[in-house]
A = this chain, B = another copy of it.
Amino acid sequence: MTKTRVDDALVGYDPSQFPPFAVTVDVVILTMSEGELNVLLVRRGQAPFEGEWATPGGFKRPTETLDEAAKRELTEETGVDAARLLTQFGAYGDPGRDPRMNVVTVAYLAVLREVGAVVAGSDAADARLVPVTDVLNGKVELAFDHERIVRDAITRVRVELEVSGVATAFVGVTFTLAELRAVYEAIWDVQLDGANFRRSIVAENGWVIPTRRRARPGAAGGKPAELFRAGKLWKYGGPIRRPQLNQKRK
């Protein structure tokens, strides 16, 4: 039995008497490109961390919500006004994470079908898509604590893929099951059997909607794949589960 003592001193303080923080939002923009999971990064044009890569972000305005700030940043950075998935996944406030002052940032995950050509503005030295593997293995170093933020974003999207079935957010308006399967394989870093994948996906009624059309086969030939379009998103429990680690690889 633990005695509980309520430290009331902290309940009624005047907030204006407390040390101020700057509050920012950072958006980890993920997209598929050439079969790989990529993250959109900008190269900083100013100190601190000048010349280093960072996730796009900016300051929250007092008149907007955190979600609105993230949505605004996403639009400003990419021109896209609505991602299929824009989810808050963490807040970061370690002392010294910004050398200038106390900054707490709220991180969002955005999933885009296609980012297209990335152009750098006047203040950012550069902007481009970077394979997430390059970030995870340290090949590309990020400013501030953005590597940790990106790492957490990957973890989040892996879970999100299973519980909400957000995979269709990565592909085009119409897509083949092979394209969709590539999303799962890239994000989960697994190999999925095409036949079993189709069985699971089609079994979930309403998640993908068959169109009458078929895709043209690639240069290697093959039977033309059926084209689908995205149906409803899941609230809980996606169409397929993440394979456990004990499965064999052929």
Name A residues whose Cβ lies closer than 8 Å to a Cβ of B.
1-16, 18-24, 40, 42, 44-47, 54, 56-66, 73, 76-80, 88, 90-95, 98, 100-104, 106, 112, 114-124, 127, 159, 163, 237, 244
Contact = CB atoms under 8 A, between A and B. Distances in A.
A2 B114 contact: yes
B121 A1 contact: no
17 contacts: A2-B116, A4-B119, A5-B76, A5-B77, A5-B121, A7-B58, A7-B121, A10-B56, A10-B57, A10-B58, A10-B59, A12-B45, A21-B22, A21-B104, A60-B93, A66-B92, A93-B106
Contacts of A45: 8, 11-12
Contacts of A115: 2, 4
A25 to B, nearest CB: 9
A24 B11 CA distance: 11
A7 B122 CA distance: 8
| Copies of this protein, total | 2
Contacts of A92: 66
A237 B5 CA distance: 35
A10 B104 contact: no
Contacts of A124: 6, 8, 11
A247 to B, nearest CB: 13
B8 A120 contact: yes
A95 B62 contact: yes
B77 A6 contact: yes
A104 B180 CA distance: 38
A80 B1 CA distance: 11
Nearest to A56: B6
Nearest to A127: B6
A6 B91 CA distance: 23
A215 to B, nearest CB: 18
B4 A117 contact: yes
Nearest to A43: B11
Given A21-B62, A66-B93, 10 more contacts: A1-B116, A6-B42, A6-B120, A8-B45, A11-B46, A13-B59, A16-B22, A65-B94, A66-B91, A88-B90
Contacts of A159: 163
Nearest to A75: B7
A132 to B, nearest CB: 18
Contacts of A121: 5-9
Contacts of A54: 11
